Amino acid sequence: MLYLHDVWVNWFEGEENGYSVCYFHEWRREDKIELLDQVPLLYISHELYHYIENDMHELPKQLLDVIYRRAFTRKGTERIVMDYACVITDGNDMMAIDTIGYQIPIRKSRLIPRQEQLVYDMVKNTKILNVKFDTKKYKKEYHMLSMPPELMIGLTRRERQLKQLLMMALDQLRTTNNIEELRYWLTEWDPKQYPFIRYMDENKVWEELYQGTKYGWTEAHEDLCEKLIRGQPFLEQLWEIENASDPSKQKSKNQ
């Protein structure tokens, strides 16, 4: 079995989509970086890699058996065993995963560039691990709160986070399904439609609002998001966290 040593990881917990597990260039100073003393490296099929990277389902038992208690993290001088942790790659991309004792990849992390290159070199002449995995039974389902990757391409870490926050707020709006409220927010988003909005039913208004906001990220998206979350402490807290990580927002706030 192949092993990596002294692996720096930046765990993202509970993230089912790979685009939410940030690459090294998007790591932040306030992120909690951890050192893995030793971790097994598995070269797996593209289908299995995609399954693990972009979902939170149970890992194949065969894979769990292979990596069981073979990884160690270090805290000070203490070496602590990890039940199920490893680095996976399909030869094109890679990530570290840790189940924290469960059977699903609760924590995921990208690697630093130097270790990425090391992984590519190590698997260059290695055969893919043959893991029994029925691809026919698996189909990734995307939805409003778990958007398809093509709707996140080109966005920064902050923009992706705020877009997910906007979708959470819109989801609450849809759940309430108050026609007057829906019309108000569509007018905020697209004032030019005002003459027609009052004749739309809730389904039409919702469709116009969602279809209009799901692509890209602009100042208009940010403005709508900030207004939508007002008075909702949990969402406001998430908003503050993202703005705290943006130097330009802090600068304008202090002026």
Residue 252: what pLDDT?
Answer: 47
Residue 143 lies in a domain: no
Q: Mean pLDDT throughout 70-84?
A: 92
What is the C-alpha separation between 128 and 163, in angstroms, rounded?
Answer: 36
Domain membership flag for residue 84: yes
Residue that terminates a domain, selected from 112, 137, 162: 137
**pLDDT greater than 60 at residue 7:** yes
Q: Does residue 26 lie within any of the structural domains? A: yes
- Tell me: do 173 and 78 sit in the same domain: no
- The runs of H, that is alpha helices, within 98-156 are 113-123
128 and 239 both lie in a single domain: no
144 located within any domain = no
Angle between helical axes of 233-244 and 157-176 (0-180°, round to 10): 170
120 with 218, same domain: the answer is no
Counted domains in the chain = 2
pLDDT digits (tens, 9 = 90+) for 119-162: 999 999 999 999 988 777 788 899 999 999 999 999 999 999 99
Instruction: Give the pLDDT score at 147.
Output: 96
pTM above 0.85, yes or no: yes
H or E, element range at 13: strand 12-13
| Domain membership of residue 90 as a residue range | 2-137
Question: What would the pLDDT profile of 85-127 be if each residue is shown by its tens digit?
Answer: 999 999 999 999 999 999 999 999 999 999 999 999 999 999 9
pLDDT of residue 248: 61
27-63 pLDDT per residue, tens = 999 999 999 999 999 999 999 999 999 999 999 999 9
Inside any domain, residue 142: no
62 and 181 housed in the same domain: no
pLDDT in tens, 166-207: 999 999 999 999 999 999 999 999 999 999 999 999 999 999
